[in-house]
Amino acid sequence: MSKLMLRLQAWRARRYAKRNADVARKGRPDGGIGAEAPIRTASEDRLRRTEFAARIADVLSELSLREGRVFAIRGGWGFGKSSLKNLITELLDAKSSGADWLDFNPWQWGDGDAIARALFGQIADRLGGKHSKAELDRAEALRRYGAILTGASKPLKVAGSSGHLVSMALTNASVIAIASAIGFDLPNIAKVAAVFAVLSVGVYLVGRVLSYFGRDHSGEPLDKVRRSLEARLRELDRPLVVFVDDIDRLEPEQIRMLLRQVKANANLPNIVFVLLFQPSIVERALDPVADGDGRAFLEKVVQASFDLPAVPTSIVHRMFEEELSEIAGPYATEANGFSQRRWGNACIGCIQPLLRNMRDARRLISSIAVHMPLHVVGNVFEVNIVDFLLLETLRVFEPDLHDALFRERGLVLQEGRFSRDSRREVDQAAANELLEIVSEERRDIVRDALKDLFPTLEWAYGGTNYADGFHRQWLTEKRVCTSRYFPRYFELQTAVGEISERRFVDLLDATATQDELLAAIAAVEADGLLNSLVARLDESVDRLPSENAAVLLPEMFRLAEKLAGTNSGTFDSSYMAAWRTTSWYLKRIPEDVRGSLAIEALRKTEALSVASILIHLNDPAARNEGEGGPFDPALDLNTVAAMKAEWLRLMRDYAADGDALIAEPDLISLLYRWRDYTDSMDEPREWMMKAIQTDQGFATMATRLMSRGTSHTYGDRVSTPHNSFNKETIDDFIGIDVAKARCDAINPAQFPEHEEALRTLLRYLGKWLGLRTNDIFDF
């Protein structure tokens, strides 16, 4: 029975021992994403530690032991202890007379007793591996010794001793059930009571059986069992080296339990323990049982130590850069914001100082390998490569700061910069609070990283205060310091309402043919991304292929014309961005074809609004007297004159086509251009008189000439819509008196679609004619 019990006790250890030495010898390291696996073979040794491993393997193989030994391989986390162990075991296997070995990892076994039982179980399995009678006897002796030493039977004895309590409870339950049956369905209740009674007897018997299994029936004392085991171990023709790895990952109590077992069995013949740990962690765990001197206690356990050879950080950095080149090298291009100077400064100043060992390097490489594909679509990288690598470094080594950057978007981007001028002291204090998230020893490194990532905030750290002119460059480089790209780095996807870099590149490729370009723009518009596309064109004029101008320029005219009349009056409105991009793109087209392509684009698209702006920008006669700044027109005077003539032809065609001109969103501006290009108000005024000759026509024109806007006063949380009319416009094209007479003759309620415009116009006419005083609704 004792033999059966010992085999049952070893079952769990054997179950988990599938990853034994034979499997370890055949296993290959995982070099993929997230891998921190140690190397397995000398062919993978990039730290030149094979010779050191060979010397240790020689020492272990040359031992002739009547008593065991305890050695240690010491080194910090991530410095390669497990890799060195694998090199040693490979060399032991290669020796014909080398020591046998076992790789034991205590981290998976839970409490201290479980670790000790697993240790003896796996040693027994290793020694009994060939199943000869002598080896089976040796393995059984070792399991038996381990069971007695670790108290493996205790749980069974406890279970047996508690049986009477369960039995008592079930017996009482049966009595209560029988008593409760009086006056009820007695047969059914009696059956239940009988079941309880049987269970009470059964539990008692099971408890007795468990107690029986828990006893040591051999009656042999521990010292006698140990002497028998020692005799069998001396029969081994070579020692067994037991590598105990990851000791420094255990809880302090588990460390103490494990080392007590090692110390108690350190003199077993032909058993050599090689402990792998970081000294400072194990010494702290031993302090409570060594009067605060865990180091002295450890020295009594370990006879000799092999300290891991130091790895120069230069080697760590070189290996990191080699692996990084394989992953990120294809994206280190100017189109992705790569600059050798900037990358060199960022790598040496902000990344390398955080890579202390190979584990640090592997962690960062793994994070880069995980997140980089989320920014890659096809062969396009959606963000700036240097910014991405710096942010990944912060994500790995300073995750709290990385999270804080996303929360503090307004601060790091300095959004609403001019409105924040009064907050400079507050912002500077907040910027310094970001640094306090990291440890003091890393603050200088992180400060440099933040200054590089967010030049908008550099002033807060005593650096440069960048002007707005740099913003376009940062947009072109897809920098995290811009509001357009900032979300992409943290949300790991293109922000809602934004066109992706991949799609933008595809659109640029589509400029080779008109059909492809029209299809690409139509798809973008269908997805509601037209404004985003215009913004990207505005930011990326230098990327627009000038060789495809015959296809691209007309479509840029069309894009700008679609947005005409939507100008919000701000420098960053979509309409302004559209015609500004078109003007800048013209300068990139070769001069010998520029003029003809511009005229042809106007003829094909009939884009009156954008053409009038281009004419204005390139006509020296349109410059105001005393207007400063250099005049650098994209179009020569002949082209400007030709465009004016073509514009007038198109305008007159529109005017003759009934409602075509009325539907133009930029109507007021077009009417004034008409006046300017003919040097007379006659044609536009004549057209106006025809358009408003009916009440319906006048009501429609009132709606077209009304300006719509919003107001926002101090204390308001939302804007208030308001409508207005320009006195000069009404007087120039209709006449104040004529407009007043027409309004008086019309009942606005008869034109519900235009009622608001008619009533607003009547109110403004009354103010202009002095028929009422100004009120709060006048703007």
Segments making up each domain of the chain, as ranges:
2-149+240-306, 158-214, 313-491, 497-648
- Which residue would you say has higher pLDDT here, 395 or 716? 395
At residue 268 the predicted structure's pLDDT band, cuts being 50, 70 and 90, is confident
pLDDT mean over 638-647: 97
pLDDT, tens digit (0-9, with 9 covering 90-100), for 172-181: 443 333 334 3
Question: Quick one: pLDDT at residue 628?
Answer: 65
Pairing outcome for strands 100-104 and 240-244? parallel
Per-residue pLDDT band for 472 (boundaries 50, 70, 90) equals: confident
Question: What is the share, in percent, of the chain residues with pLDDT greater than 90?
Answer: 52
Following DSSP, what letter does each residue of 64-129 receive, concatenated? --SS-EEEEEE--TTSSHHHHHHHHHHHHHH-TTPPEEEEE-GGGS-SHHHHHHHHHHHHHHHHTT
- pLDDT score of 136: 65
pLDDT at 633 over 90: yes
DSSP state of 347: I
The predicted structure's pLDDT at residue 461: 95
Q: Mean of the per-residue pLDDT values for the chain?
A: 83
- Judged by DSSP in three states, 308 sits in coil
Closest CA to 724 of 779, 762, 769, 774: 779
For residues 262 and 593, which has the higher predicted lDDT (pLDDT)?
Answer: 593
User: Which residue would you say has higher pLDDT here, 168 or 755?
Assistant: 755
SS3 509: helix
Residue 298 token pair: 């450890």
Q: For residues 598 and 553, is the Cβ–Cβ distance under 8 A?
A: yes
Q: What is the pLDDT of residue 774?
A: 66
The set of residues, in sequence order, having a beta carbon less than 8 Å from that of 173 and lying 6+ positions away, is: 196
The yes-or-no verdict on residue 326 having pLDDT over 50 is yes
Of residues 249 and 667, which shows the higher confidence score? 667
Name the 3-class secondary structure at 132: coil
Phi, psi (rounded to 5 degrees) for 273 = -95, 130
Are 633 and 618 in contact by the 8 Å Cβ rule? The answer is yes
At 722 the pLDDT is 82
Instruction: Give the span between the Cα atoms of 205 and 211, in whole angstroms.
Output: 10
Q: What does the alpha-carbon distance between residue 733 and residue 688 come to, in Å, rounded to a whole number?
A: 7
Is residue 70 pLDDT above 70, yes or no?
yes
Positive or negative, the CA dihedral 40, 42, 47, 53 is positive
Q: Cβ(342)–Cβ(452) under 8 Å?
A: yes
758 vs 188, higher pLDDT = 758
- The fold adopted by the segment(s) 2-149+240-306 is Rossmann fold (3.40.50)
pLDDT at 32 over 70: no
Angle at 134 between CA 128 and CA 136, to 5 degrees: 35
Residue 602's closest CA among 539, 556, 544? Answer: 556
> What's the rounded mean pLDDT across residues 581-597?
96
- Looking at residue 536, what is its pLDDT? 92
* CA atoms within 13 Å, Cβ hemisphere of 286: 22
Contacts of 199 (CB under 8 A, 6+ apart): 170
Checking if the pLDDT of 25 tops 70, the result is: no
